[in-house]
Chain A
Amino acid sequence: MPLDTSAYSLALLRVDGRRWNELRRIHAQIRTQAAADGSSYLEMGHTKVMCVVNGPSEPGPRRGGVGGTSAAGSGGGGGQSKDAEVAVSVVVAGFSSVDRKRRGKNDKRILELQSTISSALGASLHTHLFPHSTISISLHVLSLDGSLLAALINAATLACVDAGIPMTDYVAACTAGSTSTYAANDESADPLLDLNHQEEQELPGLTVATLGDSDRVAVLVCESRVQVGRLEGMLAVGVDGCKQVRGIIDRVVRDKGRRMLQEGTVEKGVGLEDMDLD
C-alpha cells in the first residue's frame, strides 16, 4: 500500500497525525518477570517488545567437553575470556505483523539484529567486572510497527538496568527519516522522527542509538537509499530523539526506584545534600 506523502506538505502532519519532531507514545515497565535477573516491557507506538536478562552467570559445563582437568585456581570450565560475553537472542513472534510469516532462527536479518544489540550494549556494559561469565539477553517481539531495532535496544537497556549490571550510561535508540525520496533533491524536505511501519517502507530512514546524553553514536543503521545531504539533518533529529527516549526510560527506572523506596523494600541512600565533609 503506497503511503500518500503528498498531504504532508499541506498540513505538516504525518499519516498518524504526528508532527515531524514527535515521538510515538512510549510506555515502558521494568521488573515484569519475577524469575529473571532483569526484565522489561517496552512499547513504542504499536511496536511491543519484551526483554529478559539472565546473568551475568557462568555457563555450566560444556556439552561434549571433557570434564575439566585443571585442579585448582579460578576458571576451568566456562568461557575463558576476561570479559563477560553478551549473548542476545531475538524472537519475532509469528503474529507480530500483518503477514503471519514464520521467521527461522537463522534468518540473517535476525542474526544481524542480535549481533548489533550485543555489540552496542557490550560497549556500554562494564563487562570487565565479570570474567568468564555470560550475560544473556532474550528479546521477544510481540507486535511490530516500525523502529524494531530501536525498540529492541531500548528494551534491552532497561532490562540490563533492572538486572543491576553496571554500565557507562543508557544506550537509547530511535529512528529518523526524511520526507523526500532518494531521487528527489528538494531542499524543503523535512526530517522526521520515529518512523512507523508505513513510513519505514516508503521513506528513507535510519536507526540511531546514542550513549547517554552525549552525541556519541553507538549504532547507526541506514538501509534505504538517500541523498548524502539528507544525512546530517536526519542524524541530528535522530540524536535529539535518542535524548528524549533516554529521558523517558530514565523516568521509568526512577519511578520504580521511588516506589521501592517508599514501600521500604530498599534502604534509603544518603542524599547528596547531607554529604557534608568533615
Chain B
Amino acid sequence: MPITILAPKPTRQAHSHNGHNDDDAMSDSGSDSSGAGGDDDLDEMVSAAAAAGLKSQRDSKYEIVTPGEVITDDPQWMRGHGTYVNPATSAIISSVAGTVSRTNKLLSVRPLRARYTPEVGDLVVGRIVEVQAKRWRVDVGATQLASLPLSAINLPGGILRKRTETDELQIRTFFAEGDLLIAEVQQLFQDGGAVLHTRSLKYGKLRNGVFVAVSGMGGGGGVVRSRRQVWTMDAANGGGQIDVVLGVNGFVWISKHVETPEGLVEKAATTGITNLEESVSATMYSSQNDRIEVDTMREIARLRGVVIALVENGLRVDEDMLIRGYHEAVEMAMVSADGLDDLYLGGEKGEQLAAVLTGI
C-alpha cells in the first residue's frame, strides 16, 4: 500500500495567529522581556487561538468534533457511542474524531474511521485464523476475533443433521486456517465479540475468486450496509457471470459464478433428493477451484481494480457504484492502447473513473 506524505505547506490558521502574535511580541519586546509579561503573551495567544477555533466551528457546517471536545453540558441528553461523561460536570464529551448524530435523546459520535463493529444480522466475509476443538476463530476485521461454532455450520450429508464426535475430529476438513468464508452474525457477546453462523446454502466457504479488503465502516469510502450485499452480474467481453460479495465488514469477494446449491435444489426437485446431498457435500467444503477461463479471470481482476479505485478516491462501495464503475472501466479499456487487457486503474485513471462516477 502506498504512503502519502504531502509536501509541508503553511497551515493557514496557525500562521495568521502566529504572525499576529509575533507582531505583538516585536512591538513590546523592548520593554517586555521578563518572564511574567511573556507569560501573558502566551496566554493571550492560546486564548485567541481557542476563540478562533470556536468561531470557525460555529460558522461551518463541515465541522467535526474531536476527542476531549464538550458536545453539550445539558444534562437531559444521554451519551451514546463515541462519547463519555465527565463525572464532575456531567458534560457529554466526545472521545473520537467524527460527526455527531442523535437518535431521540441519545447523542453519539460516528468516528471518521474505525474498525468494524459487528451487529446481529450482518453479512460478513471472514478468514479462519485458528481451529479449536469445537469452533473456529474468524478474523472479520473487528476488534476481536469472531467465533464460528461447529454447531453453526451446515454439515455435509444432510442439511439438518446433528453434529457428531466424528465431525469434531475432522473439523479441519470443513474449514482450515486461512480459509475464507461468508457468514452471518448470529449473536453478540456482552464484550462485543461476535458469533457467526453459516446455516444457509448461501453461506460457506469461498472459492474461485479474489479477496479485497477495503477499510470498514465510516469514512474514507467503504462498504455500507445496503439492501443487497451479494449479487451476480454479467461480465463484459465474454467473461461469463461474476459473483460479488460485499461483506459489511469491508471485506469483498469477487468470484466466478458457479451454480449455487440453491440452483441445485431446483434441479434436485426433478432428479431426486439423494443426488442433491451428494453434490452439496462434494462442493461445499472443497478447497479446489473450478476451471476458470482467462476471460473471466480478466474481468474479475478488472472488478477488483474498480473496488480499489473507488476506495482510493474515497467513494462508497455498493452495488450501484460498483456496476457503474465496472461499465465505465470497460469503456475506458476499450479506448486505451492495450485494449481489453488494460486492467490498470490506479493513479490518474482511478481519478478519472471517480470523476465520471461522481459527475453523474
Using a CB–CB cutoff of 8 Å, the interface residues on chain A facing chain B are 12, 19-21, 25, 27, 29, 31-35, 37-38, 41, 43, 50, 55-58, 60-61, 67-72, 74, 76-78, 84, 126, 129-133, 161-170, 190-191, 212-213, 233, 236, 240, 243-244, 247-248, 250-258, 260-263, 265-273, 275, 277
- Nearest CB in chain B: distance from A40 CB, A: 10
Return chain A residues, CB-CB under 8 Å to B2: 33-34
CB-CB < 8 A to B131: which residues of A?
67
**Which one, A35, A77, A133, contacts B130 given CB within 8 A?**
A77
Any A CB within 8 A of the CB of B111: yes
The 8 Å CB contact of B129, one of A19, A38, A61, A254, is A61
Q: By the criterion CB–CB under 8 Å, are A269 and B100 in contact?
A: yes
- The answer to whether B64 and A57 touch across the interface, beta carbons within 8 angstroms, is no
Cα–Cα distance between A212 and B84 once the two chains are bound (Å)? 14
Contact B67 A161 (CB under 8 A): yes
Residue in B66, B74, B145 whose CB lies within 8 Å of A58 = B145
Query: Can you spell out 6 A-B residue pairs with CB atoms less than 8 angstroms apart?
Result: A57-B115, A132-B144, A164-B96, A257-B64, A257-B112, A268-B99
Find out whether the CB atom of B14 lies under 8 angstroms from the CB atom of A72.
Answer: no
Please report the C-alpha to C-alpha distance between residue A253 and residue B94 in the assembled complex, in whole angstroms: 14
Interface pair B115/A37, CB less than 8 Å apart? yes
| Docked pose: A150 CA to B191 CA in angstroms | 34
Taken together as a complex, chains A and B put the C-alpha atoms of A68 and B130 apart, in Å, by 9
Decide if B38 touches A20 in the complex (CB within 8 Å): yes
Of B159-167, B216-224, B239-247, B337-345, the one contacting chain A is B216-224
Annotate B33-62 by CB proximity to A: 1 below 8 A, 0 otherwise: 101001101110110011001000110111
CB pair B219 A72 closer than 8 Å: no
Interface centre among A32, A67, A72, A170 (most CB of B within 10 A): A72
Determine the interface band of chain B, counting residues with CB < 8 A from chain A.
Answer: 35 or more
A260–B112 CB distance below 8 A: yes
Task: Tell which of B3-11, B271-279, B282-290 binds the partner.
Answer: B3-11
How many whole Å from B83's CB to the nearest CB in chain A?
Answer: 8
Please name all residues of chain B whose beta carbon is closer than 8 Å to the beta carbon of A19 when the two chains form the complex.
Answer: 25, 29
Bound complex: CA of A55 vs CA of B71, how far in Å? Answer: 26
**B329 near A: Cβ within 8 Å?**
no
Q: Given A168-B95, A251-B11, A252-B11, 17 more contacts at CB 8 Å?
A: A27-B8, A34-B1, A34-B311, A34-B312, A67-B132, A68-B130, A76-B137, A132-B144, A161-B97, A164-B114, A167-B67, A247-B49, A261-B63, A263-B314, A265-B221, A267-B110, A273-B58
Choose one: A72, A243, A275; the contact of B134 (CB below 8 Å).
A72
B76 CB-CB contact with A under 8 Å: yes
B202 in the interface (beta carbon within 8 A): no
Would A251 and B35 be within 8 Å (CB), given that A161-B67, A260-B220 are in contact? no
A266 contacts B143, CB within 8 Å? no
Chain B contacts for A32, CB-based, 8 A: 3-5
Q: Across the A-B interface, give the 10 residue pairs with the lowest CB-CB distance, nearest first.
A: A269-B99, A164-B114, A169-B68, A257-B64, A164-B111, A35-B1, A166-B95, A269-B100, A27-B8, A265-B314
For the complex, what is the distance from the CA of A173 to the CA of B11, rounded to whole Å? 20
Partner of A269, one of B29, B35, B110, B314: B110
CB–CB A164/B71 < 8 A? no
Return the chain A residue nearest B312 by Cβ. Answer: A34
Asked whether A68 lies within 8 Å of B312 as measured between CB atoms, the reply is no
Q: How far is the CA of A257 from the CA of B114 in the complex (A)?
A: 14
Report whether A78 and B67 are in contact in the complex, using a CB–CB cutoff of 8 Å: no
Contact present for B84 and A269 (CB under 8 Å): no
A56 to B101, CA, bound (A): 23
Q: Find residues 109-136 in chain B having any chain A CB closer than 8 Å to their own CB.
A: 109-115, 129-135
- Check if A60 sits within 8 Å of B53, measured CB to CB: no
Assuming A72-B149, A212-B68, is B130 touching A67 (CB within 8 A)?
yes
How near does chain B come to A84, taking the closest CB pair, in angstroms? 8
- The answer for the CA separation of A56 and B323 in the assembled complex, in Å, is 33
Chain A hits for B35, CB < 8 A: 190-191, 233
B132 to A, closest residue via Cβ:
A68
Determine whether the beta carbon of A21 is less than 8 Å from that of B42: yes
What is the bound-complex CA distance between A33 and B220, given in angstroms?
12
Contact A60 to B144, CB < 8 A, known contacts A164-B111, A254-B63: no
Give the residue of B13, B115, B218, B221 whose beta carbon is less than 8 angstroms from that of A56: B115
Give every chain A residue within 8 A of B315 (Cβ-Cβ).
265
Nearest opposing residue in chain B for A59, CB measure: B145
How far in angstroms is the closest Cβ of chain B from A213? 7
Report the bound CA distance from A212 to B70 in whole Å.
Answer: 12
Residues on the B chain within 8 Å of A271, using CB: 61, 100
Task: Choose among B82, B133, B139, B314 the residue that contacts A71 (Cβ–Cβ < 8 A).
Answer: B133
Residues of B within 8 A of A252 (CB): 11
Q: Out of A161, A244, A255, name the residue touching B96 (CB < 8 Å).
A: A161
- Contact partner of B67 (CB less than 8 A), chosen from A170, A240, A248, is A170
**For residue A212, which residue of chain B has the nearest CB?**
B68
Question: In the bound complex, do residue A240 and residue B46 qualify as a contact, i.e. CB atoms below 8 Å apart?
Answer: yes
Any A CB within 8 A of the CB of B102:
yes
**CB–CB B82/A166 < 8 A:** yes
Is B135's CB under 8 angstroms from A130's CB? no
Contact residues in B for A71 (Cβ distance below 8 Å): 132-135
How far, in whole Å, are A222 and B233 apart by their CA atoms in the complex?
A: 64
Contact of A240 among B42, B60, B66 (CB under 8 A): B42
Bound complex: CA A166 to CA B93 (Å): 11
